[in-house]
């Protein structure tokens, strides 16, 4: 029983490419097509040349936190994706927002060092004591519309199908 469960879990992890969470290549995020809009908007943003998904979305201050966060997040995403309960639209969770805010500040510390916007933490924002970077920089980097409606014809790297060709032909009939 336990073995079967482990096996299933392993299968889900492999097939859903959850392991790819450990990589920094943006294309791995798009392994889930639900990430398509975010990829497409990022791809066309000024940040493409400077910051990958993980530069923003994963804590960068501490190596252990970095991987723990990745594992937790990756597992949740993989599970939700597998269980087919993806919320629409996807909206960043608290932990995610905390990490992103810190990452904006990490890179743009110099620019923001003499103004209060540079010192506002996620918790202060919750208390109404300031705003998140992307409250003003609303288009950075994903634009203001978080759905396929914004990028209906966006070209994103299509993930390699894990299905064998013959099986696909049959299922698709």
Partner 1 sequence: TYSIVERRTAGEFAYAITTDIDRLDPRAEAWGRYFPRQFNTYAQMADTTFRSKYLGSQRRDLLDVNPRMVILFAGYGFSRDYNLSRGHYYSVQDVRETLRTGAPMKAGDGPQPATCWTCKSPDVVRLIDDMGAGEFYSLMLSDTGHEIANPINCASCHEAEDMSLKIALPALAETFARMGQDVSGFSHQQMRSLTCAQCHVEYYFGENNYLIFPWDEGMTAEDMARYFDKRGFADWIHPLSKAPMIKAQHPDYEVFTTGIHYQRGVSCADCHMPYKTEGGMKFTDHKIQSPLNNIAAACQTCHRQSEAELIRNVYDRQDMIYEIRTKLEDVLVKTHLEAEFAWKLGATEEQMSEALHLIRHAQWRWDYAAATHGGSFHAPLELARTIGNGLDLAHEARRKITAVLVELGHTGDVPLPDVSTKEKAQKYIGIDLEQLEANKERFLVEIVPEWLRLTAERQQRWDEQRRDPDHEGSYIQ
Q: Which positions touch partner 1 (CB under 8 A)? A: 12, 15-16, 32-34, 60-61, 81-82, 84, 86-89, 91, 102, 105-106, 109-119, 121, 127-131, 135-139, 144-150, 158-159, 161-163, 168, 171-172
Rounded to a whole number of angstroms, the minimum distance from the CB of residue 154 to ligand HEC is 11
The site map against ligand HEC for 108-147 (x = CB under 6 A) is x--xx-xxxxx------------x-xxxxx--xxx--xx-
Question: Pick from partner 1, ligand HEC, none: which does 123 bind, CB < 5 to 8 A by kind?
Answer: none
Calpha distance 40→89 (Å, rounded): 16
- Under 8 Å between Cβ of 75 and 82: no
The site map against ligand HEC for 10-39 (x = CB under 6 A) is ------xxx-xx----x-xx-xx-xx--xx
Q: Residue 116 or residue 169: which is nearer to ligand HEC going by CB?
A: 116
Rounded to a whole number of angstroms, the minimum distance from the CB of residue 52 to partner 1 is 18
| Kind and range of the H or E run holding 167 | helix 165-172
The site map against ligand HEC for 142-171 (x = CB under 6 A) is x--xx-------------------------
Of 142, 133, 137, nearest in space to 44 by CA: 142
Question: Pick from partner 1, ligand HEC, none: which does 42 bind, CB < 5 to 8 A by kind?
Answer: ligand HEC
Output helix, strand, coil percentages for the chain, rounded to the nearest 5: 60, 0, 40
Q: Count Cα atoms within 13 angstroms, Cβ side, for 139.
A: 5
Residues 116-124: contacts with CB under 8 Å, at least 24 apart: 122/94, 122/97, 122/98, 123/98
């Amino acid at each position: 029983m336990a073995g079967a469960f482990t096996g299933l879990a392993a299968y889900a992890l492999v097939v859903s490419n959850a392991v790819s969470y450990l990589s920094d290549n943006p294309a791995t995020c798009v392994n889930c097509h639900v990430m398509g809009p975010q990829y497409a908007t990022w791809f066309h943003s000024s940040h493409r040349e400077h910051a990958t998904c993980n530069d923003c979305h994963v804590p960068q201050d501490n190596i252990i936190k970095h991987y723990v966060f990745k594992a937790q997040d990756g597992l949740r995403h993989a599970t939700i994706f597998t269980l087919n309960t993806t919320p629409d639209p996807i909206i960043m969770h608290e932990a995610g927002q905390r990490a992103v805010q810190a990452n904006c500040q990490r890179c743009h510390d110099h620019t923001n060092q003499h103004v209060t916007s540079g010192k506002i933490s996620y918790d202060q924002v919750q208390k109404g004591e300031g705003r998140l970077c992307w409250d003003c920089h609303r288009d950075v980097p994903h634009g203001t519309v978080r759905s396929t409606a914004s990028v209906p014809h966006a070209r994103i790297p299509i993930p390699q199908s894990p299905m064998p060709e013959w099986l696909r032909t049959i299922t698709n009939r």
